Structure 1
Amino acid sequence: MTKKSDQQRQKIMAVSRELFTQKGYTETSTREINERAGIAEGLLYYYFPKGKRQLLDAIVREGVDDRVRIARNMTTSWTRATIEQDVVSLFEQMWHLLGDGIGYQEFIITIRNRAMLSDDQSAWLVTSFESVQQMVADRLFAVTSAEITRERTDQLAMAIMATFQKVIFDELLIRNRQELPAGTHAFISRQIHLLMELILKD
């Protein structure tokens, strides 16, 4: 794909993200996407032959790929001495990705249209989440294996991810906040400290 073609494809995706977030997937027509993107009618199908469904898939996949990439990049540098802060930093990076701009749009579109995803897409979403949890578990085991078993690090990773999910869903979906409220950093730090103490001392 040429640079110009890639830019055109990204422009179509950017416009689609905006419209799907503002109006919803079902209420957005391909004609609106074409008009907003300033492209000839039918060009959308050149880049996305299956139309809106393929666009939805691409947007969801891009958002999840970003979260997996962040987790992979961040967890590689975790150490035993800084483990609690490392975990909190991962939460903060996830929040910044989901609470701002494109990441927020991708997150909202994914949640709102969860029921419209195919079985394959749904399975892929679950697998992507599990891969992030597995990265967390792998790194936790790497830095704490002298203290606890693999089973316990898996349990700790599951509890950490559940904590992340609760805060992110509460703030972005229930309270509709894109700014992290004061005190959230301290709350997450306390939760991670308690989890670490509970698992490591058990």
Structure 2
Amino acid sequence: MEKSELQKDKIIKVAQSMFSEQGYDATTTREISRKADISDGSLYYYFPDGKREILDTIVHQGIESRTVVIDDWFSEIKTVYDLERQIIGLYERICLIFEDEDSYRSFMITIRERPLLSDSQSDWLLEILSNIQNKLIQELNLIKDLLSIDVNNFEDTTGIIISIIQKSLYDELVLKNNKVISKEVKELTESEISLMVRLIAKKDLGKN
């Protein structure tokens, strides 16, 4: 990484920490410069639009990194058991995203500073969950003969599964302000996912 990129990365990390701890409005560019050990002029050299450009960069990088982790997670399935394991594996993968400090801070900034963000920035989680739902519908179609529900109900069914995942994330990270999804919440959420999958299966899952 070039020196200029290292300096930009340092500014972003400092600002990310300050935005998440004291809020965007309460943080000044002067404070960011001082904490990053650079002059005010240097900060504007790297980010001509100042604090707002830094915020946009933090949000964009966070969305990009989270999307990459989730993209292409689904693989072809053959049984209902495969579906259950795949959804639970995906949920665990999402939980791991927020165990990374930078990802957690970026997420909290996105939530707290929502009024300042564009629709595409603030709705990133909804968009990701929508993409996951579409992939789940595709998965259900692969094993539709093994399911007790009609194809016309796939959207509602996957919507319930997505809501189960979404609730656990918001309850823990936003409402309770926890930095990680607790073991108890993970186990409860995974049992709810398993129950939902079993309810739509024609027969007991088995493993083949």
TM-score of the superposed pair, with normalisation by structure 1: 0.83
Cα distance, 1:145 vs. partner?
A: 4.0
Q: Quick check: 2:14–2:32 contact (8 Å CA) kept in 1?
A: yes
Conserved? CA contact 2:141–2:151, under 8 Å:
no
Asked if the contact 1:68/1:131 (under 8 Å) is kept, the reply is: no
In the alignment, structure 2 segments of 5+ residues that lack a partner are 203-208
Identity of aligned residues (%): 32
Corresponding pairs, count:
199
Whether 2:111 is the aligned partner of 1:111: answer yes
> Which residue does the alignment assign to 1:102?
102
Query: What's the CA shift for 1:37?
Result: 1.3
Q: Equivalent residue for 2:15?
A: 16
| Distance (whole Å) between structure 1 residues aligned to residue 141 and residue 69 of structure 2 | 19
For 2:74 and 2:87, locate their aligned partners in 1 and report how far apart those are by CA, in whole Å: 8
Write the deviation string for residues 68-125 of structure 1: whole angstroms up to 9, x where unpaired. 2122142236663422122112111211212431111011101101111134544666
Once the 2 structures are TM-superposed, how far is the Cα of residue 28 of structure 1 from its aligned partner?
Answer: 0.5
Letter in 1 for 2:197: M
Report the residue type matching 1:107 in the other structure. F
Q: Which moved more, 1:65-74 or 1:115-124?
A: 115-124
1:72: which partner in 2? Answer: 71
- Over 3 Å counting, the alpha-carbon distance change for 1:136 and 1:9 in structure 2 is farther
Amino acid of the residue matched to residue 18 of structure 2? L
Structure 1 residues 145, 68: CA separation in 2 closer, same or farther (over 3 Å shift)?
farther
The corresponding residue for 1:27 is: 26
For residues 79 and 70 of structure 1, what CA distance do their matches in structure 2 show? 24
Question: Do the aligned partners of 1:34 and 1:41 also contact (CA within 8 Å) in 2?
Answer: yes
- Please say if 1:36 is aligned against 2:35: yes
Aligned 8 A contact 1:25 1:113 in 2 = yes
1:177 shift after superposition: 2.0
Q: Alpha carbons of 1:175 and 1:125: their partners in 2 closer, same or farther (altered >3 Å)?
A: closer
> 1:168 Cα shift?
1.1
Quick one: structure 1 residues 101 and 122, their matched pair in 2 at CA, closer, same or farther if it must change by over 3 Å?
closer
CA distance in 2, matches of 1:35, 1:137: 50
Output one character per residue of 1:42-65: Cα deviation in whole Å (capped at 9) or x when no partner.
222233222222222221222222
Amino acid at match of 1:85: R
Residues 1:70 and 1:108: Cα distance change in structure 2 (over 3 Å): same
Stretches of structure 1 that go unaligned for 5 or more consecutive residues are none
Q: Which moved more, 1:111-120 or 1:12-21?
A: 111-120
* SS of 1:39 mapped into structure 2: coil
After TM superposition, the structure 1 = structure 2 runs for residues 1-202 of structure 1, keeping only pairs within 5 Å, are: 3-76=2-75, 80=79, 81-119=81-119, 121-122=121-122, 126-138=126-138, 140-141=139-140, 143-147=142-146, 151-201=152-202
Does structure 2 conserve the Cα–Cα contact (< 8 Å) formed by 1:16 and 1:55?
yes
Question: What SS class does the counterpart of residue 82 from structure 1 fall into?
Answer: helix
Q: CA deviation at 1:22?
A: 0.9
CA distance change for structure 1 residues 127 and 165 in 2, over 3 Å: closer, same or farther? closer
TM-score by length of 2: 0.81
